[in-house]
Amino acid sequence: MRVAAQSVCTAIRDDIVAGVYERGGRLTEELLARRYGVSRVPVREALRTLEAEGFVVTRRHAGACVAEPTEQEAADLLEVRTLLEPLAAARAAQRRTDAHLKVLRGLVRLGQERARNGLGEDLRSLGGWFHETLAQASGSPGLSALLTQLRHKIAWMYVVEPPAAPVESWAEHAAILDAVARRDPERARALTSEHAERATAAHRLRHARRGGRVRSSQHAVNTVSLRN
């Protein structure tokens, strides 16, 4: 996929996850091209990619529409994540670099500090960055890409309640990091599996209303880079 199509794909995906486009709503090439300031060609390519990822479906007589996943499909995603995240942690314990450890330690330190001080507004994003970095440390680009896609889809399908005990949650992150730092793949796998199972309980299925209305978005596409 060309750079323009990649950028448009990211923008549309982010807006779908954010609820800018409601489930079942039509996604016309003309509207999307105008919204993101590009021609219809990169939009067409982006929609094909998003259809392959499961965010978009093509319907007869309607064209591209935002997908409407079932409750079972949503539940399956959480189950897949609980299988893949421990695998990524085990591989990270074998393949991590000092640079990965530095980033992970910084995230854990910041997360623990904010959890202790009751500053929970950023803990969800910090947790996401922790798991994203852990996946990158696995040294498996395909696995990392799968987990990133899963996180996007889970964020779209679920409302995630803040952890009831954020200090304990970040203690779990710290324990996973310690296993990765010690190059102990089995302990990293076991700890991440337990952590993922506990985190799953905080997910409440998001029931989006079908409509297709386009709301305002905080996501801006760099149209200069798209045209270069």
pTM: 0.81
Give the pLDDT confidence of 169-223 residue by residue, as tens digits. 999 999 999 999 999 999 999 999 999 999 888 888 987 555 445 555 544 454 4
Domains of the chain: 3-68+210-227 (1.10.10.10), 71-205 (1.20.120.530)
Of residues 208 and 48, more confidently modeled: 48
C-alpha triplet 175, 180, 184: angle, nearest 5° = 100
CA dist., res. 135 & res. 181, Å (int): 14
Bridge-based pairing state of the strands 203-205 and 158-160: antiparallel
